[in-house]
Structure 1
Amino acid sequence: MKDVEGTCRAHGRHGFVVAITNVEDIGKGLIREGTGFVTFPVKYQCVVFRPFKGEILEAIVTMVNKMGFFAEAGPVQIFVSNHLIPDDMEFRSGDMPNYTTSDGSVCSLLGSR
């Protein structure tokens, strides 16, 4: 469980393993030649985090700059390019970088940590 929880297995195909909820089966061990270690196939059920393209996520904005902004949703780091930010919003630098709309209202994206 310690080796699997908190990791992204199979190149992210199945998502980020949050927690193992049930161990269903532990198969026969296979001795690894020359090491003396034994490998066991294990079948388990788990909770995963696997966002899909186009999915809306709740995220915490961690950095805002003129190129866009970075955010985190659980273990996933997200970058939103300024090309994807509406045209009526303009980047403003300063103590608290933000994007300001053409009517003067401020969209402060930087979340508190």
Structure 2
Amino acid sequence: MLQILHNPRCGKSRNCLAFLENNKATFEIRNYIQNPLSEEELKTVIQKLAIKPIALVRQKEAIWIDQFKDKTMSDNEVIRALTLHPILMERPIVIKDNKAIIGRDLEKLEKFL
């Protein structure tokens, strides 16, 4: 089954959710703002995305700019920042088995499915 890490306040995330619904996909929704990922869960997602943790950060968010922008951070420190401030995470993320994709581009999402 698919899982979508969803932020209902995000237009791209809502579009992804609508795309999945319109394609009759079976999926589970996790509002990661209300139900944040643990550090271990986030590490697993990053591994499935096959990216570095910094690539998952929305670097134009005010929290990032105010608290982290000019700091040199290890991967673990970036993951910790994402767990403390889930709004910093790129979205939506669609997870399928051992792979995941940031579902902003619906064409890429369609190929992923």
TM-score interval for Structure 1 and Structure 2 normalised by the shorter chain: under 0.3
The structure having more radius of gyration, on CA atoms, is: 1
Structure with higher strand content? 1
The one of the two structures with greater contact order (alpha-carbon pairs below 8 A, sep at least 6) is 2
TM score, norm. by length of structure 2: 0.28
Q: TM-score, normalised by structure 1?
A: 0.28
